[in-house]
Amino acid sequence: MQFLTLIQYFERLEATAKRLDIFEILAALFRLSNTSEIDKIIYLLQEQLLPSFYTVEMGMSEKLLIRSIADASGKNLSEIHQHFQASGDLGKTTECFLSAQLGTNLDVHTVYSQLRRLAELSGEGSVENKVEALAALLQSATPTEAKYISRFVVGRMRLGTGNASILEALSLAKTGERKPKAILERGFNLCSDLGMVGRILFSDGIAGIEKIRPTVGSPIRMALCERITTPEDVIKKIGRCSIEPKLDGFRCQIHKSEGKVEIFSRNLERTTLMFPELVQATKTAINAKSIIFEGEALSYDDRTGELHPFQVTIQRKRKHGIAKAATDIPLKLFAFDLLYANGNDWTNRSYADRRKLLGSLITDNSVIELAHADETDDPIEFSRIFQTAIDEGAEGVVAKRLDGPYKAGARDFNWIKLKRSYKRTLADTVDVCLVGYFNGKGTRAAFGIGAVLATVYDPNTDTFKTVSRIGSGFSEKDWVCLRKVLDFNASNSIPPRVVSTLTPDVWVHPHTVITVMADEITRSAMHTCGKDANGIGYALRFPRAQGFIRNDKNPEDTTTVAEIVRMSENQKLIKLG
């Protein structure tokens, strides 16, 4: 495909915020694509060269891009800088300075491989080489192509295409069905690589997707918990179950094959280098040639058996001084699931079987230990186990269905969490994605921000729906920092996939996730979350931010509309009871 053709689709995507339009445009684009380029097209739509666990980064700042534009156009830096100050968009600035170019008929393959080459330049002199290579690429492009290349390299494309929309459009383009088959979703959940799913679907159809299996080295999208607020209701829902403490640390998915170990975080980033003691223990204390297993890693006092709070564990999240931190704050991994062992996929086996095998593979408990678990079908016993877990420093418990499979990428009732906070205010905190902010009044006027517009995710429509306006819980320092982050993601109009009846002073692309606590959930005509036929949705009452930006969460990881509706119903039950 000519790169210019792809750009025309980017322009159409940019011009709409309607989810249905986005979906139709993507499906039309995929129908035009061939097997050798579909993966590249998907990655470019996702604003990446490869999934993040490959750790291939562009490594281009705005400053370096300005130097490339100068090289390509022959204009001086200050002129370009000035234009950028006025336009606020380096894409538009590039287009303007290269407006006389005719282009060289670039195709998708060429642009993608040049960008990959640029990203992979490293070592001495690589900065200069990157600037030069990008200038050459910009020079070979038409002005419109150059606009998008510039936006891509600094991560500012903002096409608004979520994974769910891409998956749906792939399904329609290739199988004629709009709702992706469960098998297509499972394929993606097992490999976490939409480009690869596209490539296999194009070359081998659904039969090829069916063959996707867990692969050591490729992270599997992680299973998550549903919420239920009382032990009685948990047992009603899943019967006799296993109850594990919900520990507050880092979720680790650990892969080992032939002595090589990789660790992935909750949002599939590679964290191997951060946790050397876990790498070492996986090599020596896990009796399997190849394995994928999961657990929660946290700082822990071996002598007293005391779990340290998250504020201690979080200090291990660092890029420098790793060896010293590992000595000062050693981690212990409480292993709770097994996904793959010695060549066999275990994700479809029962929880009970997976746990049994996992326990038998751990040969030394000093760094990796099987997570504690109790089994019961008695609500009173359940409450006692819950209380013991809290007393020992856990944030709650996770109840697990004994015959449940490991459902990659799913939040369902195979795992149910009960947290301590259920008993206080609202059942659990809510993770929200910010899509705008309101200018401050009074003392906040100085910050230019006084409240944020928060949304939750609707996976059925791949949209973000408003649930609250949040103005408390942030310190002065937080507001300043928050505004900077939000301004970086600002949008001139309502961003794609956002559904809102409120209009904030500044719209922001869905990117920033925060956790909030609230007193309760009320019905409200102001918000679009769970809106019914009468136009009445759901809203958080007395919301307040907890902590700060959740860099470990993607926008699609926020609480869902369905969860909010369920939380609202649960609170009714509690009130009635």
The contact set with ligand ATP (CB under 6 A) reads 224-225, 244, 246-247, 251, 266, 296, 336, 371, 398, 411, 415, 417
Of 266 and 270, CB closest to ligand ATP:
266
Nearest CA among 367, 263, 279, 275 for reference residue 323: 275
- Give the shortest CB-388-to-ligand ATP separation in angstroms: 14
- Give the shortest CB-336-to-ligand ATP separation in angstroms: 4
Of 75 and 266, CB closest to ligand ATP:
266
Place of tokens 């002595």: 259
| DSSP letter for each residue of 59-115 | ---HHHHHHHHHHHH---HHHHHHHHHHHS-HHHHHHHHTTT------BHHHHHHHH
Nearest CA among 319, 329, 327, 339 for reference residue 252: 339
- Give the shortest CB-224-to-ligand ATP separation in angstroms: 3
Of residues 130, 174, 246, 332, which has the active-site annotation?
Answer: 246
User: Can you name the residues that pair with 61 across neighbouring β-strands?
Assistant: none
Let me know: does 212 contact 190? Beta carbons within 8 Å.
yes
- Give the shortest CB-481-to-ligand ATP separation in angstroms: 21
- Give the shortest CB-244-to-ligand ATP separation in angstroms: 4
Burial, 260: exposed, middle or buried (Cβ in 10 Å; 0-12, 13-18, 19+)?
middle
User: How far, CA to CA in Å, does 326 sit from each of 249, 272, 322?
Assistant: 15, 13, 6
Of 260 and 317, CB closest to ligand ATP:
317
- In the chain, helix, strand, coil percent, each to 5? 45, 25, 35
Nearest CA among 567, 232, 236 for reference residue 383: 232
Interstrand relation of 290-301 and 250-257 (parallel, antiparallel or unpaired): antiparallel
Of 44 and 333, CB closest to ligand ATP:
333
Of 145 and 337, CB closest to ligand ATP:
337
- Give the shortest CB-437-to-ligand ATP separation in angstroms: 23
| DSSP letter for each residue of 101-127 | ------BHHHHHHHHHHHHH--STTHH
Of 143 and 409, CB closest to ligand ATP:
409
Let me know: does 506 contact 451? Beta carbons within 8 Å.
no
Classify 223 as helix, strand or coil.
Answer: coil
- Give the shortest CB-152-to-ligand ATP separation in angstroms: 30
User: How far, CA to CA in Å, does 222 sit from each of 28, 55, 164?
Assistant: 31, 19, 16
Nearest CA among 247, 228, 565, 563 for reference residue 379: 228
d(CA 567, CA 521): 8
- Give the shortest CB-417-to-ligand ATP separation in angstroms: 5
Q: Rounded to an integer, what is the distance from CA 244 to the centroid of its chain?
A: 25
Let me know: does 513 contact 549? Beta carbons within 8 Å.
yes
- Give the shortest CB-431-to-ligand ATP separation in angstroms: 6
Query: Does the annotation count 553 as an active-site position?
Result: no
d(CA 408, CA 192): 10
d(CA 444, CA 139): 46
Of 168 and 185, CB closest to ligand ATP:
185
Amino acid identity at 136: A
d(CA 82, CA 336): 55
Let me know: does 114 contact 133? Beta carbons within 8 Å.
yes
User: How far, CA to CA in Å, does 559 sit from each of 289, 463, 506?
Assistant: 37, 12, 23
- Give the shortest CB-334-to-ligand ATP separation in angstroms: 7
Amino acid identity at 556: E
Active site residues per annotation: 246
